[in-house]
Structures are given as C-alpha cells and as structure tokens.
A and B are shown apart, each in its own frame.
Chain A
Amino acid sequence: MCPDHIIELMHQYLDEEIDSEGEQILREHLQGCNECQAIFNELKKTVAFVKSISTMQAPANFTSNVLANLPKEKKKILVARLLKNHPFLSAASLFVVLMMGSLFSTWNQDREFSVSKQKNLVVKNNTVIVPKGEVVKGDVVVRNGKLKIEGEIKGDVTVIHGEKYLASAGHVTGEIDEVNEVFDWIWYHMKRSAKEAAGFFEHQEGQ
C-alpha cells in the first residue's frame, strides 16, 4: 500500500501546484516503488483520457433558439438598429427634423404685420379693408392682421394669424384660407411650395 503523502504529492503534481522539494521527494519515491509508479501512470493516463474527449458543438440553430425565447426587445433599440442598418432612413429623418425646426422658427419669428401690395387696399391699424365698390385684382395675403372684405377680391384670400370679416356685400372669387395653427401653417407652406414648383415647371414648358 502506497503512503498517503506520496499520493497527495501526485495530485499536487497533476494540479501543477507541487514545489521543487515535493517534486524531489516524489521522484525519489517513484524510482524505488513500482506500485506507486503504476498508480502515477494510471492517474496521468486518466487525465489524458478525460482531456481527449472531443469537444462538442452546440446543435445547429442553438443561438436562434435562445434568441427566440428571450423576452421582447424595447422599441427604442429596434428603432436605433433600424437607423443604424439603413443609413438612408437616418438621413431622411434628420432632414425631416431640420425641416420641422426651420418651419417652427419661421412660424415663431414671423409675427410682423404684412399684407400683399394691391393699390386699392386700405390699411388701418393692422386691419386691411377692401372698400365697398372696389375690385382688388390678384391674391391677397394678410399676416398678423385683420381683413375686412366689403368690396370684391378677384383672387384667393389667405389670412395668417389673423381674422377675416366678409361683409354681406363683399365677394371673393378665389379660395379663402385662414391659417392659425402650426399644422395649418405647415400645410400652407407645403401647398405653396408645391404650387411654386408646379408653376416653375409650367413656366419652363411654356418656354
């Protein structure tokens, strides 16, 4: 029967924790003891066997199965990833944000009274009057003021940030548009841009 302290030294050796003194003792003992030598070789063989078990691969679809079972992802992350994977989308959304920003700032800055220039419009304290019996030709735009229509306007009327009174005798041949909210304002801007663009193309075609 082999001494316990020698067996202990063998294990220390296998754990790579043996000191030089212990290694010396083990070596000397092994040289003179066949039984211990056999045990030591068996231990080394055992370790080699266990290590030799080939490494295993996780089954196919392992990762996708794990991911399929995870709790739902937060929306914020989904959007972030969408933008990351589709740079065009992020460019487009940046464009929209900047556009909105500029629109809002024009909306907020544009508080001054103004009116389109037509000869026979009468202006009194931020109130624009189309006098009785007068005929105003062309579109009338009033910003930040009131519009009183007693005569006739041959064209469209747009009132931004203001009010309009249409007297019973008054008459407008075109469309009447009142813009008082931000969204109306944006809509108005878009319509105007589209009209301008259309006008531009018509003009070109005309040439």
Chain B
Amino acid sequence: MEAIVKKRIKQVIKGDQDAFGEIVEIYKNSVYQLCFRMLGNRHEAEDVAQEAFLRAYVNIKTFNQDLKFSTWLFRIATNLCIDRLRKKKPDYYLDAEVAGTEGLTMYSQIPSDHSLPETELESLELQETVQKEILKLPEKYRSAIVLKYIEDLSLNEISEILNLPLGTVKTRIHRGREALRQQLRYV
C-alpha cells in the first residue's frame, strides 16, 4: 500500500493529476472521517477534507518521501480542523443541533423515507451520543482520541501527526478517555 502511494507521489511530483486522484481515493474516507469527528458536521468536514487534499497536492514537493504519507496527510487535515474550530462562526447546517433540544438536529426534522428497525435505531442513538461527547471534548483531547480510536493509529504516529512528545500524547489520551468515561458511564 505504502509502496503504491510512494509510486503515485513520484508521478504527482511530475505533475500527473490522475495519480493524485488515486491517492485521494485511498485516503478520502479516513480524512473525511477525521474531519467529521473533529468538526461534527458534514459540510464543514467535506470542505476541510477537500482543502487538506488540495494543500497536500500543492505542497507535495515538501513531503519527505522517507516518511509515511498518511502521517503527513493527517497532520495537514488535523491542523486545518483545529484552525477551523478556532475561528468557527455560528452557522446553520442541517446537522447542527437544534437549540433547546437534546441532540436533535435539523436532519431529524426532515421526515425519513423509511422507519428504522429498533436495534438499528438504538445503535444509531448510541453513535450519536458518542459523537456528541467526542465533540464536547476540548480540541486537544479530541484530536488525540479521534486519531487513536477512530483512525486506529499508534501513539507514535499520533505524536508525529500532532507534532507533540509521546508523553504529551499519552496524557491527552488519558484525559480524553477519562472525560468520556464520565459522560458515557451511564449509557
């Protein structure tokens, strides 16, 4: 996998955009997922994920080819998410929570085409609860938790992505885990 990506990167450096398309295909889901878990809404997640790939393309020559491409790409995406969170303006999106409701989004105001079976509904509710609790975490714990448990990365990779010492990454994951435990213990 990494070998294919390395080959494609060489082609991209020569200017081949089709090769870049293949790289996007490989990583689009994980980058989009990372952005969605960090930002909590689909439109922004798509926007930021697109921007991350665009930046990767423009700066591909600065990528050190001895390193893992995914680490570099996730670093770009994570930084963009954090930037976005910091200058986040209140805005209206379908999946933003409706004021005064507990976890209801504008999506839930749109009648669905089919009714979900009970178990699926329960698992959806659980997923929404977990997502909501992740979004409540301070951004520095959130990024560590998302990279660790959603993207399933090693502590070393996370430390490279966040450009932080391993010890700091561990502390953030511990604190994040503890905060989530407090919130999710009665679920």
Q: How many Å lie between the Cα of A56 and that of B173 in the bound state?
A: 22
Given contacts A71-B58, A77-B16, contact A42 B181 (CB under 8 A): yes
Contact of A81 among B16, B37, B46 (CB under 8 A): B16
A11 near B181: Cβ-Cβ < 8 Å: no
Q: How many Å lie between the Cα of A43 and that of B175 in the bound state?
A: 11
Chain A interface helix/strand/loop/mixed: helix
Q: Point out the residues of chain A lying under 8 angstroms from B29, CB to CB.
A: 55-58
Interface centre among B17, B29, B54, B180 (most CB of A within 10 A): B17
B50 near A15: Cβ-Cβ < 8 Å: no
Q: Does A24 belong to the interface (CB within 8 Å)? A: no
A76 near B20: Cβ-Cβ < 8 Å: no
Q: How many Å lie between the Cα of A101 and that of B77 in the bound state?
A: 52
Min Cβ gap A165→B in Å is 57
Q: Point out the residues of chain A lying under 8 angstroms from B131, CB to CB.
A: 53
Q: Does B82 belong to the interface (CB within 8 Å)? A: no
Q: Point out the residues of chain A lying under 8 angstroms from B58, CB to CB.
A: 71
Residue of B nearest to A62 (CB): B28
Contact of A58 among B18, B21, B28, B181 (CB under 8 A): B28
Within 8 A of A (CB), among B18-53: 18, 20-21, 24-25, 28-29, 31-33, 36-37, 42, 46, 49-50, 53
B127 near A11: Cβ-Cβ < 8 Å: no
A66 near B180: Cβ-Cβ < 8 Å: no
1/0 contact string of A4-23 vs chain B (CB within 8 Å): 00001001001101000000
Q: Point out the residues of chain A lying under 8 angstroms from B181, CB to CB.
A: 39, 42-43, 46
Chain A contact residues, CB within 8 Å of chain B: 8, 11, 14-15, 17, 39, 42-43, 45-47, 49-59, 62-63, 65-67, 69-71, 73-74, 76-77, 81
13 more CB-based (< 8 A) A-B contacts, given A14-B177, A66-B24, A70-B20: A49-B126, A49-B187, A50-B134, A50-B150, A53-B37, A53-B130, A58-B29, A62-B24, A63-B24, A63-B25, A70-B17, A76-B15, A81-B16
